[in-house]
């Protein structure tokens, strides 16, 4: 009867979580509500006592599960209000999770996509985040205008430097204002940095340099683009040089990296990098 346990274990875990975990229960309810929602169609939903505008159901459900159910951004308090820098805040789920865990936190959140930034402001202000500083700007290694490709969900990204001038404006390509990350950090040091900026992390993180020594917790989503050289070392090296212990969690990776790449997926690898000051 050894086969009985694995057969019934997943349903049992599901029922236990439904009974004991409000975030898991909310996520499953959202799955039912949004099961037939078309991509990039806006609506308002309620979850965990929050009113949330959702511009894209699929990306929202994935982010909600990561942030609220799996608690990928959770960190312990240490007695004083944390100062948090959220780079790539999207529609505000990360900001709201920080506020639920640390109501007195001082938060600055950046989102370059103007359409998404409007949703970010609505969601944060509607749910009590009146003191959060929201900036409709991109994080970069210098200030100025950059070319940005919007996707109407969570995949908007800065275009590679070499194509900034060569890429024509189109329906999804716009100019956005960038802020020098070092200057922003110097205006008020941060204890916690969350960085989910769709490939720009390879430029932004090294630009912080020695400032990383003042950070307690650092979260970076690494995006390994198909057909491009890896930039993983440019992220891990400065983290370790700053005295952070690095943990790597795999979100997406090729099952057989030695085999020829056959997928048209633009990202062949997504990793969550955690830097912890011990």
216's tokens: 């307690």
Q: What DSSP string runs through 198-234?
A: TTTHHHHHHHHGGGGGG-SEEEEEEEEETTS---HHH
pLDDT at 172: 82
Residue 268's pLDDT is 86
Q: What is the pLDDT of residues 47-74, one digit of tens each?
A: 999 999 999 999 999 999 999 999 999 9
Helix or strand (DSSP H, E) at 181: helix 181-186
pTM of the full structure: 0.89
For residues 191 and 219, the answer to whether their CB atoms sit within 8 Å is no
Higher per-residue pLDDT: 160 or 85: 85
pLDDT tens figures, 202-246:
999 999 999 999 999 999 999 998 888 899 999 999 999 999 999
High-pLDDT (> 70) share of the chain, %: 89
User: What are the residues whose beta carbons fall under 8 Å from the beta carbon of 205, sequence distance 6 or more?
Assistant: 195, 212, 220, 234, 235, 238, 239
CA nearest neighbour of 201 among 230, 175, 177? 230
CA–CA separation, 206 and 257 (whole Å): 27
Q: What percentage of the chain exceeds 90 in pLDDT?
A: 71
Per-residue pLDDT, 176 = 92
């Amino acid at each position: 009867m050894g086969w009985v346990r694995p057969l019934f274990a997943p349903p049992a875990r599901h029922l236990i979580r439904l009974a004991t975990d409000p975030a898991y229960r909310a996520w499953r309810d959202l799955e039912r509500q949004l099961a037939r929602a078309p991509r990039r169609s806006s609506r308002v939903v309620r979850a965990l006592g929050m009113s949330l505008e959702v511009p894209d159901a699929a990306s929202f459900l994935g982010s909600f599960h990561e942030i609220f159910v799996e608690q990928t951004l959770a960190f312990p308090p240490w007695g004083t209000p944390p100062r948090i820098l959220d780079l790539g805040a999207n529609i505000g789920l990360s900001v709201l999770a920080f506020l639920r865990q640390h109501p007195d936190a001082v938060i600055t959140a950046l989102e370059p996509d103007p359409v998404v930034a409007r949703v970010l402001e609505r969601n944060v202000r509607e749910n009590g985040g009146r003191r959060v500083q929201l900036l409709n700007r991109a994080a970069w290694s210098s200030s100025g205008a950059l070319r940005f490709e919007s996707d109407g969900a969570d995949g908007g990204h800065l275009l590679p430097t070499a194509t900034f001038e060569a890429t024509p404006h189109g329906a999804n390509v716009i100019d956005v204002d960038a802020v020098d990350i070092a200057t922003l950090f110097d205006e008020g040091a941060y204890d916690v940095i969350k960085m989910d900026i769709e490939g720009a992390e390879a430029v932004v993180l090294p630009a912080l340099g020695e400032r990383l020594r003042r950070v307690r917790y650092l979260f970076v989503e690494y995006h390994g683009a198909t057909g491009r050289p890896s930039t993983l070392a440019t992220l891990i090296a400065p983290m370790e040089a700053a005295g952070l212990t690095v943990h790597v969690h795999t979100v997406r990776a090729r099952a057989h990296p030695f085999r020829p790449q056959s997928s048209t997926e633009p990202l062949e690898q997504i990793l969550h990098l955690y830097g912890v000051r011990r």
